[in-house]
C-alpha cells in the first residue's frame, strides 16, 4: 500500500569522534493501486470576521459620503471596491460551484472575531443551497480577534471523522488575543491528524501561523492585496488557492501517518521535518509522532536528524523506525514494520567523507527556513550578517531550482541594501515562503554549498 525508501546522508561515520549529526531521509509513495482510490474529505473553513476584514483591498472604491460605526471605529462607506470578507465569500462560492466536489466531500464553516460560532456543520458539498446560505452569513459578524475560539469550534466539527482526509483552512488578517490557546489547540489538531493550512493577509503574526502549520503538518500562504511576486499569493487569486488546497486534500490517499522511533543509548532523535512537497517541522512531544498525509502519484519526503555520541569502530544498530497509517479509500489501516537503522563507524576519514547527495540536498532545503528566520531576527542590529544569511539561502534555492523563493529572497536582499532593514511585509513573505511549497530533488546538484558552511550558518 505504501512504498518506502530509507537512506542516510552517510553510510559510514568516523569512529571515536565527538557528537555527530546523522540525517536520515524517509521517502514515501503510495502504490499504484492505492493511488487510484479517492478519499472522502472533511474540510472546515475557519474565517476571521473581525472588523478589519471589511477593509477594501481591490477595485477602485468611490466614497458615498456616508459613515458607519463598527467596533467603536468610524468608517467611510464606499462602493466599487471589494473587501477581504467579500473576496473570501466569493472564493467559497466558487469552490462549491467548481464541479470538483461530490457527496463524499463535506464542508463546515466556522467564524471568529471576539466570539465564534459554527455557521454550518459538516455538510455534503452537493447541498449547495445550504452552503450558500451559510457563506452569506459571514457578513453578519464583526468584532475583535480571538482565533482560538474558532479553532475550538473547528476541532469539534471534524475530530471524530475517521477514515477521511480532514483539514482546516484558517484565514486571518490580524493579531489574536489568545496565542497560547491557539498553540495548545494545535497539539490537539496534530493528535487527531488535522493539518491546518494557514492563510494570512495584513498584520497577522506569522510566527504563530508558522507554529500552527508546523505542529499539525499543514501549509502556509502569505496573501497580499496587490500583485503577487515570488512566493506571495494575490488576494485576487484566493479562489484558485482555496480550490487547489481542496484538490490536494482529495489526492491524499494515505492519511494519519504516525511514526515511532526507538534509539539506543548515546543516540537521540532531535528533529523530524517534512522536506517535500511542503515543509513542516513536527514537534517531538509524544510517540508515535503524527506526520500528516501522503498524496497519490508523488513522493512525500521527511528528514530525521539524530545526534550520535562517540563510538569505537564497529557496525551497530542505532535506531528502529516504524510507521502506521490509514488508507481511507479502502477503509484499511497499514503499517511499516520496525526497520533497523544500522551504521558503520570506521577509523580514519576516507570512508566517512562519502555523502549521499540527494539526502543532503533535502537537508539544505530544510535549512533555508532557519537561515531566513535568523536573518529577519538580526537585520536591524546587524544588516551585514542578515545579508550574508539571505545570500546563502538565495544560493541554495537557486541551485535547488525553487525559482519563486529565489525571487522573494532577491527582493528581500535589495530592500535590505536600500533601507538597512527588512520590513514586516517582506519578513512575512520570505518566512512563510520558505515553509511553503518546496522542490522535489532529482539527481545531483552542481556546486552545492559545503556541509561545514551549512552547519556554521544554520547551527545544524
- Record the pTM: 0.89
391: DSSP letter: H
Q: What local confidence, expressed as pLDDT, does residue 454 receive?
A: 46
Domains annotated for the chain, with CATH where assigned, are 2-37+253-346 (2.60.40.3670), 41-250 (3.40.50.410), 357-458 (no CATH)
402: three-class secondary structure by DSSP: coil
- Catalogue the long-range contacts made by 10-13 (C-beta closer than 8 Å, 24 or more residues apart): 10/352, 10/354, 10/355, 10/356, 11/343, 11/344, 11/351, 11/354, 11/356, 12/343, 12/344, 12/345, 12/346, 12/351, 12/352, 12/354, 13/308, 13/311, 13/343, 13/344, 13/345, 13/346, 13/352
**How far apart are the C-alpha atoms of 127 and 102, rounded to whole Å?**
9
201: DSSP letter: E
The 3 state secondary structure assigned to 328-373 is HHHCEEEEEEEEEEEEEEECCCCCCCCCCHHHHHHHHHHHHHHHHH
**How far apart are the C-alpha atoms of 380 and 382, rounded to whole Å?**
6
Rg of the chain over all Cα atoms, to the nearest angstrom: 23
Pairing of strands 41-48, 105-112: parallel
Task: Tell me which residue has cell 489547540.
Answer: 185
Q: What local confidence, expressed as pLDDT, does residue 354 receive?
A: 78
Task: Tell me which residue has cell 522536506.
Answer: 275
**How far apart are the C-alpha atoms of 196 and 347, rounded to whole Å?**
47
Which residues lie below 8 Å from residue 120, measured CB to CB, with a gap of 6+? Answer: 107, 108, 109, 130, 131, 134
**How far apart are the C-alpha atoms of 253 and 200, rounded to whole Å?**
27
Nearest residue to 139 (alpha-carbon basis) of 97, 83, 101: 83
Q: What local confidence, expressed as pLDDT, does residue 445 receive?
A: 31
**How far apart are the C-alpha atoms of 448 and 278, rounded to whole Å?**
21
By CB atoms closer than 10 A (0-12, 13-18, 19+), residue 268 is middle
Tally of CB atoms within 10 A around 15: 16
Q: What local confidence, expressed as pLDDT, does residue 285 receive?
A: 87
Cis peptide before 385 (omega within 30 of 0): no
Over the chain (460 residues), what is each successive 10-residue block's mean pLDDT? 93 90 96 94 97 85 64 60 92 95 96 97 97 96 95 96 95 94 96 94 94 95 92 94 93 96 96 95 92 95 96 94 96 94 84 80 92 95 96 92 94 96 95 90 46 47
Helix 128-136 × helix 84-96 angle, to 10°? 180
By CB atoms closer than 10 A (0-12, 13-18, 19+), residue 426 is buried
Please give the angle made by the CA atoms of 246, 153 and 177, to the nearest 5 degrees.
Answer: 105
Q: What local confidence, expressed as pLDDT, does residue 436 receive?
A: 84
Which residues lie below 8 Å from residue 48, measured CB to CB, with a gap of 6+? Answer: 111, 112, 113, 145, 147, 150, 171, 172, 173, 174
313: DSSP letter: S
CB-CB contact of 110 with 154 (8 Å): yes
Residue positions counted in the chain: 460
Q: What local confidence, expressed as pLDDT, does residue 441 receive?
A: 85
**How far apart are the C-alpha atoms of 14 and 347, rounded to whole Å?**
6
Nearest residue to 232 (alpha-carbon basis) of 206, 250, 212: 206
**How far apart are the C-alpha atoms of 398 and 406, rounded to whole Å?**
6
CB-CB contact of 44 with 108 (8 Å): yes
Amino acid at each position: 500500500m505504501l512504498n518506502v525508501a530509507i537512506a542516510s546522508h552517510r553510510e559510514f561515520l568516523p569512529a571515536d569522534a565527538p557528537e555527530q549529526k546523522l540525517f536520515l531521509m524517509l521517502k514515501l509513495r503510495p502504490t499504484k493501486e492505492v493511488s487510484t482510490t479517492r478519499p472522502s474529505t472533511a474540510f472546515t473553513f475557519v474565517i476571521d470576521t473581525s472588523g478589519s476584514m471589511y477593509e477594501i483591498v481591490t477595485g477602485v472604491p468611490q466614497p458615498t459620503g456616508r459613515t458607519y460605526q463598527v467596533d467603536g471605529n468610524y468608517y467611510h462607506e464606499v462602493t466599487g471596491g471589494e473587501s477581504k470578507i467579500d473576496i473570501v465569500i466569493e472564493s467559497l462560492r466558487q469552490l462549491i460551484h467548481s464541479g470538483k466536489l461530490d457527496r463524499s466531500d463535506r464542508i463546515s464553516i466556522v467564524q471568529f472575531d471576539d466570539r465564534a460560532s459554527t455557521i454550518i456543520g459538516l455538510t455534503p458539498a452537493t447541498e449547495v443551497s445550504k452552503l450558500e446560505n451559510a457563506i452569506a452569513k459571514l457578513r453578519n459578524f464583526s468584532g475583535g480577534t480571538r482565533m482560538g475560539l474558532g479553532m475550538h469550534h473547528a476541532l469539534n466539527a471534524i475530530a471524530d471523522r475517521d477514515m477521511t482526509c480532514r483539514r482546516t483552512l484558517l484565514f486571518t488578517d490580524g493579531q489574536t488575543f489568545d496565542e497560547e490557546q491557539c498553540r495548545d489547540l494545535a497539539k490537539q489538531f496534530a493528535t487527531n491528524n488535522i493539518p491546518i493550512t494557514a492563510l494570512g493577509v495584513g498584520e497577522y503574526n506569522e510566527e504563530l501561523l508558522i507554529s500552527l502549520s508546523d505542529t499539525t503538518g499543514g501549509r502556509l500562504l502569505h496573501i497580499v492585496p496587490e500583485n503577487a511576486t515570488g512566493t506571495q499569493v494575490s488576494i485576487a487569486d484566493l479562489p484558485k488557492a482555496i480550490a487547489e488546497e481542496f484538490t490536494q486534500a482529495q489526492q491524499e490517499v494515505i492519511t494519519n501517518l504516525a511514526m515511532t522511533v526507538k534509539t539506543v543509548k548515546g543516540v537521540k532523535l532531535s528533529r523530524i521535518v517534512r522536506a517535500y512537497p511542503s515543509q513542516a517541522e513536527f514537534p517531538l512531544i509524544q510517540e508515535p509522532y503524527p506526520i500528516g498525509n501522503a498524496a497519490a502519484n508523488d513522493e512525500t519526503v521527511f528528514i530525521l536528524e539524530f545526534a550520535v555520541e562517540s563510538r569505537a569502530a564497529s557496525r551497530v544498530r542505532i535506531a528502529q523506525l516504524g510507521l502506521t497509517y490509514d488508507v481511507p479509500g479502502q477503509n484499511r489501516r497499514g503499517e511499516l514494520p520496525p526497520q533497523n537503522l544500522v551504521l558503520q563507524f570506521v577509523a580514519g576519514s576516507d570512508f566517512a567523507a562519502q555523502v549521499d547527495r540527494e539526502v543532503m540536498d533535502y537537508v539544505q532545503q530544510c535549512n533555508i527556513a532557519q537561515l531566513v528566520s535568523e536573518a529577519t531576527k538580526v537585520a536591524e542590529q546587524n544588516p551585514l550578517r542578515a545579508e550574508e544569511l539571505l545570500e546563502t539561502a538565495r544560493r541554495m534555492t537557486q541551485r535547488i531550482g525553487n525559482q519563486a523563493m529565489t525571487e522573494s529572497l532577491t527582493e528581500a536582499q535589495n530592500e535590505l541594501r536600500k533601507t538597512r532593514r527588512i520590513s514586516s511585509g517582506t519578513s512575512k513573505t520570505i518566512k512563510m515562503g520558505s515553509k511553503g511549497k518546496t522542490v522535489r530533488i532529482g539527481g545531483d546538484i552542481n556546486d552545492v554549498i559545503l556541509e561545514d558552511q551549512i552547519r556554521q550558518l544554520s547551527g545544524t
